[in-house]
Amino acid sequence: MILSAALAGVLLLAPIGTRYAARAEEPLVSCKAAYLSDFDSGTEAYALHETERLPIASMCKIMTLLLGFEAAEEGELSYDEMIPVSENASGMGGSQVFLGSGLSYPAEELMKSIAVCSANDSCVALAERIAGSESLFVEKMNERARELGAENTLFANCTGLPKEPQYSCAKDVALMLRELLKHQKYFEFSRVWFEDFRHPDGRTTSMTNTNKLIRFYDGCDGGKTGFTNQAGFCLAATAKRGEMRLISVVIGAESSAARFEGVKSLLNYAFAAFESRKLLEAGAPIGERLAVRGCKQREIEVCAETPLALFCRKGEEPDADVEIRLDGSVKPPFGKGTPVGEAVLYRSGVEVARCRLLAAEAAEKFSWGEAYREIASKWN
């Protein structure tokens, strides 16, 4: 059964790449590449050489963290398990927390050190735990990038330290950060400004967040910096104000100050010029009910699995609709949260995305006696 309902303005989880026409008020950003998008929909708001393949330095740790969170949520890794540190991991140069070879650390603390201070040694220790070796972990990184549609990304290590060939682009970095931000536990780490990292042998290493916008930009609560001589100064950051969360990426700025100013100017531009209009809230009834046969309830409430939001310029009224498709073949018994359909999203008549619809309540099957009475009542 397919039911349709037209709602004012729709956009959800659109593929990153929808481009708004350039406007005179767009900011000028001094860097090799930049990208700005909405988190809820992935809609592009600004782009500069967004698909150019460039080194991204430590921003590749966005993927390292993403695989760590996914491993934990899939039960392959527990946050409190102790991870032994190899001589290879402890010997990483660059940013580090000086892990002790042969010592063991909680997985959660290693992941926190990656998010806060970009610890290369923690990256390798985590990679070796998840995949057995860094090289096998890199294979997982590239596989996940392909699954996400990051067509201009190739990883050679899990740290971003110089090694050929490896590259990404501003658009792909935004896509990967968007996926990472779906893991709420990430924000427990990304919001940390300063903290001591404690070692099993009694030492402590002070960690300060490399993303200065965490402290100095209203609404910023996550992101990843990067720097090598080859990549220049890089930053991917997210900020949320009200109902709108944005993702901003700058690659190849000439100074650390320039990358922060570039990301800030992009965020300021979007917060001033755009808005996010929530149409369906995650878990909230959508207004359509699913008819169910052989069930005590003749109809059940249906809700959206994820928010449905329209990201658009302030004052804009785009031609957008959502079609509600409910699956009449779903038979009881089934529990709350069971997929029962989807919402298909259109803009100017073209499908832009879709999301699952879930049962907002359980559906209990008739007992034999109840089924008999139901049939008898219809017969009469």
Q: What residues are labeled active site? A: 58, 61, 118
Burial code of 109-145, b = ≥16 C-beta within 10 A, e = fewer? bbbbbbbbbbbbbbbbbbbbbbbeebeebbebbbebb
Euclidean distance between CA atoms 366 and 271, whole angstroms: 52
| Strand extents, DSSP E, the chain | 33-38, 44-48, 82-84, 104-106, 194-198, 204-208, 220-228, 232-241, 244-253, 274-280, 285-291, 299-304, 308-313, 320-326, 339-347, 350-359
Contact 49, 162 (CB under 8 A): no
The token duo for 234 is 């890089």
The token duo for 201 is 């042998």
Contact 286, 343 (CB under 8 A): yes
What's 367's DSSP letter? Answer: P
Contact 112, 189 (CB under 8 A): yes
Euclidean distance between CA atoms 122 and 138, whole angstroms: 15
Within a 13 Å sphere around the CA of 318, how many CA atoms are in the beta-carbon half?
23
Give the angle subtended at the CA of 145 by the CAs of 140 and 146, to the nearest 5°.
Answer: 100
CA 305 to chain centre: 15
Contact 308, 10 (CB under 8 A): yes
Give the angle subtended at the CA of 205 by the CAs of 203 and 209, to the nearest 5°.
Answer: 160
